[in-house]
Copies of this chain bind each other. A is one copy, B any other.
Amino acid sequence: METTGFERHDHGACIREGVSAVDDRCRAQGLQFTPVRRRVLELLLEGHRALGAYDILDRLREEGLGSQPPVAYRALDFLVKHGFAHKIERLNAFVACACPGESHMPAFLICRNCDKVAEAEADMRDGRLAESAAGVGFRIERAVVEAEGLCPNCQGAAA
């Protein structure tokens, strides 16, 4: 089970495991993992990339699973709400969660060259930011952390 998606790996297993983990969690929590929601998750898992809502919608349309924006947004909202996917604010796009179900404060590493996105842990309740925040009396509840740069593969190519 790789963490980043930058390395070569058995991506078929990646998808299968991702879907089945969410399937399990939905069953456990009594959530409805409907066909549209499952398909959207599969699409997000297809590459370790962020997909826009309308990219998703196009695919759904091709497959006869829905043709109007709310269909895609509702599925995405469901996935995000339950921690099965995340929104990348910088890209107005969405990625599958790398460790669905585990509650976490995710951070993202976004390659500006190949657009791959990796998920890292960045609990903002420690570290320098937390100190600054505490210093002015601000209580952090959630945090968006999105780092942009070059992934290991693209540093050599330097395109």
Contacts and interface: CB of A to CB of B under 8 A. Distances in A.
Interface of A: 3-4, 6, 89-90, 107, 109, 111-112, 118, 120-124, 126-129, 132-133, 136-152, 155
Contacts of A112: 141
Contact of A145 (B109, B138, B139, B145): B145
Complex copy number for this chain: 2
A91 B88 CA distance: 12
B140 A147 contact: yes
Nearest to A112: B141
Contacts of A138: 4, 6, 109, 111, 118, 147, 149-152
A136 to B, nearest CB: 5
